[in-house]
Amino acid sequence: MKKVIIVAVLMVVAAAFSFTACETEKEVYKSSDEWVAKARQNVKPITMDTLKAKIERYDEFYLVDVREPMEYYPAYIPSAVNIPNGVLIFKMDSDEFWESNFLYTPKKDDEIVVYCKKGNRSVLAADKLRKLGYTNVRFLPGGWMEWENQNPTLYEAQLDKMSGGSHEEVGGC
């Protein structure tokens, strides 16, 4: 009888412990700003100057634009691959996706820089990748908007390089 009681008590304690352990893993935020602030504590930024230098030196790293395609196609940082934040975790380890972009699938310790329009989506994206085991992920504070402010002609120069020459402006605006 004592053994049955002891086993029952142990089962109740184990069940209570497992429910408590699950409860501590839940994270609920009052706002998206609070969520981004919490994620920012876990990921590292990269400066605009450092990113620009890496691009100019042709350093090996993955530059991932986590904006939606309609944001990406009009303008992006040279050498970036577009993976919208909503599908990022599914495409990061997809050999088929990376092969379609003529790249190798990133290893968990490869350098990855993520950016978005202003920086907040990239913070969350970098945190997701960290949780997936990627150990060398950075985000670009200020995102595309800050990049364009600091490098207003770089995108156009990249287009000129790709097309083989400069283009005359057309239209009035």
Active site residues: 116
Six token digits for residue 18: 């497992």
CA–CA distance, 88 with 135 (Å, rounded to integer): 16
Contact in structure between 132 and 92 (CB atoms under 8 Å): yes
Q: Are strands 112-115 and 62-65 parallel, antiparallel or unpaired?
A: parallel
Q: Dmax over Cα atoms in the chain, in whole Å?
A: 92
Contact in structure between 117 and 148 (CB atoms under 8 Å): no
Judge residue 105's burial from the number of C-beta atoms within 10 Å of its C-beta, 0-12 exposed, 13-18 middle, 19 or more buried: middle
